[in-house]
Structure 1
């Protein structure tokens, strides 16, 4: 199902792959909302949808609270002349004042649908700075807005960083994270979906937080680019590799496909849990790791007891 927004990195075209890796649960928690493609294409009883971008969360909250007023306001904007002059005038109004939440949300949708290829970008001062898209007839997503409002009845939308959101996890939750991707090349990323950006340290902190949740029995799933850095970061996760279409940042002669990964850690039943994490290197398994001694690998506690491996003396 499509969403109200055009969005760079939307998961709409890879949902058939992603859905296979999302287990059942009482609530899906998404710390990186994006266009809400995952929410719109799954069927969890509840959703906690968060993002650090206040304009995005305001849009979702306004649609949920009063969809009729929002549609009336947004339709009025879409009926104005589709010109660069109108676009830049509305962009200036959007950046100057956001006191009226409904007007601000409607302007955000207008800028998204009339701006360049669904890019959401801000300058260092926090001003939305995406250029005019020069589309002949920008689409007004009436059906998508109405469907979103219906699904949003099950959802809570909050403006929060991922660390704050992950502190709200409760038993029965499933966590899916779609952060800004690690660049495929040093020059591949564009500035910035939010004025704070997303750093290497943020990538590390996110992975660490997800690992801690997994150790507490929470299913965690994350998407990222298929890079050496991402594989190294998520080396304790099960990783699925695939290719996905790119819509922005494709130079002449470059492939329109990009490698991505889905990294996941799901709870292991108690009878199958691994018996030990090596104190020397952190490798998971039983007994001693290859560098620290014998009896290493994926053997479960019960298998090692049966084989007598746990009685082995370390080197």
Structure 2
């Protein structure tokens, strides 16, 4: 099941590697859900889907609540008359000023599908600022949205701090964390999609909370780049490393491979 949103770091292509590490459980908790590819491609009875981006979670909640009515609203924004720079920037401005939750959710999907490279980025005052993507044709993800709508009935959605979410886990749960990645270099950080960013100290906090959560009997799996820093902070975990093709780059002809890892903190 493909996510209906484009998303930097989307785990759809890695789902088999991730599922191989996730143990059986009653409930899946995703503190950094992103496009929710893992949620969509696992079969846990219950799910907690959290992300620091409230606009993202708002789209999920709106789709869960309104289903086909919301999908129809979104589809109306995918005509050719909206696939140009003037329309895009007008709708981006409307999104940034809108106080209508239903409309704002539909506009978020429009911006996601029409913006450059599927990026989600905000300026310092919280305004969405991704430029127009200039696609000849944009795909409307009707089937993907319907699948998400049906599966979302098993999920609770939130946009709170990851530690609060993880502290609420209990034996019988499993946690999958896909945080903004540690940058491979000082200029390579494409993952700060919320206005607050995700600092090195936050990476350390996540590793600490993961170890503490696993000690309470809840397994935790974390994705990240494989480098000296992550190897150090995940030293108490079982680490699997592999190469992944990069799809986000300002130079489309030189999108190479990067080392990534999955760190499993097994439940006690």
Is the TM-score greater than 0.5? yes
TM-fit CA distance, 1:198: 0.2
Structure 1 residue runs of 4+, over 3 Å off?
250-255
Residue aligned with 1:77, SS:
coil
CA distance, structure 1, for counterparts of residue 41 and residue 68 of structure 2 = 23
8 Å CA contact 1:250–1:256 kept in 2: the answer is: no
Cα 1:211–1:202, aligned 2, differ >3 Å: closer, same or farther? Answer: same
Matches within 5 A, 1:131-146: 131-146=131-146
* Matched length: 267
Greater Rg, structure 1 or structure 2?
1
Residue aligned with 2:126, SS:
coil
State the partner residue of 2:150.
150
Matches within 5 A, 1:37-52: 37-52=37-52
8 Å CA contact 1:123–1:192 kept in 2: the answer is: no
CA distance, structure 1, for counterparts of residue 107 and residue 252 of structure 2 = 33
TM-fit CA distance, 1:251: 4.1
State the partner residue of 2:231.
231
8 Å CA contact 1:121–1:191 kept in 2: the answer is: no
CA distance, structure 1, for counterparts of residue 238 and residue 261 of structure 2 = 10
Residue aligned with 1:231, SS:
helix
State the partner residue of 1:87.
88
8 Å CA contact 1:122–1:192 kept in 2: the answer is: no
Taking structure 1 as the reference length, what is the TM-score of the superposition?
0.82
| Structure 2: unaligned runs, 5 residues or longer | none
State the partner residue of 1:7.
7
CA RMSD between the two structures: 1.3
Taking structure 2 as the reference length, what is the TM-score of the superposition?
0.96
Q: Which whole-Å deviations, capped at 9, do the CAs of 1:180-202 have from their partners, x for residues lacking one?
A: 00011111113730111000110
The structure showing larger relative contact order (alpha-carbon pairs under 8 Å, at least 6 residues apart) is: 2
Q: Which whole-Å deviations, capped at 9, do the CAs of 1:259-288 have from their partners, x for residues lacking one?
A: 1000001135xxxxxxxxxxxxxxxxxxxx
